[in-house]
Chains A and B, each alone.
Chain A
């Protein structure tokens, strides 16, 4: 079965703290993609990163970094020096091909991050 688990329902930090959002996935596929999306209070899901199953290199983009470890089936997201604007719900998602032209995202339940000033 395909599944994404985000065990942290809510996290609250104070501005400038570092915070890590956990994501654990399950899949039997050998080829798959993982994504992180941000959903601020306005509602729109904003694409943050895509990682394929063959690329385990960590990625850094400004204050954001991602750690992908196939051995533990995890794709964790760290925000360094958090800011109030980082307050949002963050979704981790797994994408698989269902054959032919069909692609589906399997979302985790999301982590609500609240950054206090």
Chain B
């Protein structure tokens, strides 16, 4: 089945220790998104790629970076995680960035910062 896969599902890191979360997709979608979702809140868009074009949200901290080496993979790098970065990180894809296209989400990675 075509899908969005995120690894790992659970990640524990230490305060200030860099961490990378990964996302892969078999849907061959142009667009990949990264969201941060804190407890009992709606997902918050961090950035997205349209093919290789990177689009950062204005309020995304510099601590968060992303890489998309090819169509299938996208990575979220947190350079120096703080306690406030503990959250669920969701990857999503869509066929194109037109606003009619639904986004398909992966199962998420729950990040704990100790």
* Interface residues, chain A, with chain B CB atoms under 8 Å away: 32-33, 35, 37, 42-47, 50, 52, 91, 95-97, 101-105, 107-110
Chain A residues near B100 (CB, 8 Å)?
Answer: 33, 50, 52, 95
Instruction: List, in ascending order, chain B residues with CB within 8 A of A52's CB.
Output: 100
Binding site for A on B (CB under 8 A): 31, 40-43, 45, 50, 53, 55, 88, 90, 92, 94, 96-108, 110
By a CB distance below 8 angstroms, the chain B residues around A103 are 31, 94, 97-99, 101
Closest B-chain residue to A96, C-beta based?
Answer: B99
Q: Please name all residues of chain B whose beta carbon is closer than 8 Å to the beta carbon of A96 when the two chains form the complex.
A: 99
User: In the complex, are the beta carbons of B55 and A47 less than 8 A apart?
Assistant: no
Asked whether A101 lies within 8 Å of B50 as measured between CB atoms, the reply is yes
Nearest CB in chain B to that of A50: its residue? B102
